[in-house]
Chain A
């Protein structure tokens, strides 16, 4: 079962590349901790996307070469990164003014759960003694678009659900969900599958999702048949 699941879908770096494809030239984009961080390494050639790091940096570049790490030049995950030409440093107040003031075109974030309405749970697990919110609640409220970049399931359990059972980061904030299996838009008409990863069928995707999906080509929910 697990082996079968590993064979299909996108790898983490392929997933990050898929997200990067949709970031438009000239956008200012914040990357969260985890898989989203990989997006910095796969920005398409020739596209000027200015990456924001919540700890106070605009113009984040790829990971440094081994031996070139500078622990005073780190990303939101405290990992060493580089600064691109035109980049700058600023305080937390300025950094979150950019976020909360609506200046960022998109935030790419991880998730524990996301509901069919775009409610996000990403800061606290019920079985852990501590939550860790960081900038997640500010980004979900402040960024113009919220993209999730995550594994479709957690240990086989669907992360896309009808209603979040974990504590919310923000309600109705997610615009698009990128997983190792598919790209799914959150719309007023529900969850609409825009793209399936290689080897993934719509039926397989629906089986691994705890909320009803619509296929973008037919607009039909699972079980319905075309006329």
Chain B
């Protein structure tokens, strides 16, 4: 019988090794797998490469891993916010590397990674600083840049409900980066509000299929509300 549920977040993330690449879902605080992140802060794996859209929007996001000196490289589109000070300090002293990727390019790089496409061309970022140094090619008279796929060793996903197989449904805009990141990691770990029996989720509503999800953790308590900030 398929059993993906782990007892708690600590057990679900225990094997994450130093130097791992980690995809972290969420857009600001919405859809952020903050309890898996908290467990990884506790576990202490270092030299991580973290791929996540927003860095510094909330204190319990990727900012917590940066502050705990666990991150060597960030790939994101929006590295600012009220909790970005530790990132800025580490950029200035050279202990962290930052790669800014346009948000749509970031999503597409992850989608490509999950779909077995190694690279693709896009007009986004052509003629800009973020396109510098990349291979280019003209299509239909327009300059395109070559962007490479992103895959992860692990993905941290926040879902609303899961079934025992790992099918996921989301709540409103918490979906954001979660479904695409779930496809692109060797080990996808989802924290969810509720786990139900197989067959209890409406198949029309399943946004992440069980084939992508390897581990499940049911949240013990509701996450606390966050202060609304842009970042």
Residues of A whose CB lies within 8 Å of any CB of B are 33, 53-57, 69-74, 77-80, 83, 89-93, 95-96, 99-100, 124, 129-138, 141-142, 167-171
5 residue pairs from A and B, CB less than 8 Å apart: A74-B28, A130-B88, A131-B100, A134-B77, A141-B124
B129 partner, pick from A73, A80, A168, beta carbons under 8 A: A168
**Taking the complex as formed, is B177 at the interface, i.e. its CB lies under 8 A from any CB of chain A?**
yes
Is there a chain A Cβ closer than 8 Å to B155's Cβ? no
A99-B104, A133-B77 given; A70·B172 CB < 8 A: yes
Of B91, B111, B129, B173, which one neighbours A124 at CB under 8 angstroms? B129
Beta-carbon contact of B128 and A92 below 8 Å: no
For B29, give its contact among A56, A78, A170 (CB under 8 Å): A78
Whether A129 contacts B88 by the Cβ 8 Å rule is yes
Contact A92 B177, beta carbon cutoff 8 Å: yes
Stretch from B6-14, B35-43, B64-72, B222-230 contacting the other chain:
B222-230
- Knowing A96-B108, A134-B77 touch, does A78 contact B230 (C-beta < 8 A)? yes
CB contact between A56 and one of B28, B128, B173 (< 8 Å): that residue: B173
Known: A74-B30, A130-B84. A92 touches B176 (CB 8 A): yes
Q: Is the CB of B29 within 8 A of A77?
A: no
Q: Collect the chain B residues with CB atoms within 8 Å of residue A170's CB.
A: 126-128
B231 within 8 Å of A (CB atoms) = yes
Q: CA–CA, A140 to B172, complex, Å?
A: 26
Check B179 for interface membership: any CB of A closer than 8 A. Answer: yes
The answer to whether B103 and A73 touch across the interface, beta carbons within 8 angstroms, is no
Partner of A135, one of B77, B126, B173, B230: B77
Which residues of chain B (168-198) have a CB below 8 Å from chain A?
170-180
Q: How far is the CA of A91 from the CA of B122 in the complex (A)?
A: 19
Cβ of B166 within 8 Å of any chain A Cβ, yes or no, is no
Classify chain B's interface size.
35 or more
- Docked Cα-Cα span, A74 to B228, in Å, equals 10
Across the interface, which residues of A come within 8 angstroms of B176, CB to CB?
55-56, 91-92
Cβ of A100 and Cβ of B122 under 8 Å apart? yes
Cβ B104 vs Cβ A55 within 8 A: no
Cα-based distance from A168 to B127 in the complex (angstroms): 8
Contacts from B to A (Cβ < 8 Å): 27-31, 53, 57, 77-80, 84, 87-88, 91-92, 98, 100-108, 110-111, 122-130, 170-180, 207, 225-226, 228-231
Pick from A56, A71, A138: contact of B124, CB below 8 A.
A138
A71 with B226, Cβ < 8 A, contacts A130-B88, A137-B128, A138-B124 known: yes
Least CB distance from B109 to A in Å reads: 10
Smallest Cβ-Cβ distance to B88: which chain A residue = A129
Provide the residues of chain A in CB contact with B124, threshold 8 Å. 100, 137-138, 141-142
Select B130's contact among A72, A99, A129, A137, beta carbons within 8 Å.
Answer: A137
Q: Does B177 lie within 8 Å of A138, measured CB to CB?
A: no
Q: Which residues on A sit within 8 Å (CB–CB) of B28?
A: 74, 78
**Is the pair B27, A133 in contact by a Cβ cutoff of 8 Å?**
no
Shortest 3 CB-CB contacts between residues of A and residues of B: A138-B104, A96-B104, A78-B28
| A220 CB, min distance to chain B CBs, angstroms | 32
- B175 near A89 with CB under 8 A, answer yes
Neighbouring A residues of B87 by C-beta, 8 Å: 130
- Contacts A55-B173, A56-B176, A74-B228 known; list 8 others, CB within 8 Å: A54-B103, A56-B175, A71-B29, A71-B226, A91-B180, A133-B103, A137-B125, A137-B128
Name the A residues within 8 Å of B79 (CB-CB).
Answer: 130-132
Whether A78 contacts B172 in the complex (CB less than 8 A), given A71-B29, A93-B180, A130-B84, comes out as: no
Name the CB-closest residue of A to B31: A72
